[in-house]
Amino acid sequence: MTIKSSPPAPQPCRLPAFGKQVAEVRRQGLMPAYVILRLDRWPPRDRPGVVAAPQVVCPPDAEPAELDLQFLSGLDVQICYWPTASAPERLRAITRQALQNNPRRLWVLNVERGRWRLVKSVERGIEVAV
pLDDT in tens, 95-121: 999 999 999 999 999 999 999 999 999
Query: Considering the entire predicted model, what is its pTM?
Result: 0.86
| Comparison of pLDDT for 43 and 51, the residue scoring more | 43
What value does the mean pLDDT take over residues 55-61? 95
Average pLDDT, the chain: 89
Using CA atoms in the order 97, 44, 88, 13, what is the torsion angle rounded to 10 degrees? -30
In a domain, 103, yes or no: yes
Q: What is the pLDDT of residues 66-83, one digit of tens each?
A: 999 999 999 999 999 999
Classify residue 9: in a domain, yes or no. no
Is residue 3 in some structural domain?
Answer: no
Phi, psi (rounded to 5 degrees) for 35: -125, 140
Q: Please report whether residue 35 resides in a domain.
A: yes
In a domain, 1, yes or no: no
Spatial neighbors of 86 by CB under 8 A, at least 6 apart, are 39, 40
Q: Is residue 2 part of a domain?
A: no
- Residue 82: predicted pLDDT: 96
Quote the number of domains for the chain. 1
In a domain, 39, yes or no: yes
Residue 12 lies in a domain: no
pLDDT band at 7; cut points 50, 70, 90: low
Say what the pLDDT of residue 45 is.
Answer: 74
- How far is the C-alpha of 67 from the C-alpha of 85, rounded, in Å? 19
> What is the extent of the structural domain holding 95?
19-126
What residue spans of the chain are helical by DSSP H?
19-27, 88-100
pLDDT band at 6 (very low <50, low <70, confident <90, very high): low
pLDDT of 9 higher than 60 = no
Give the mean pLDDT of 85-96: 97
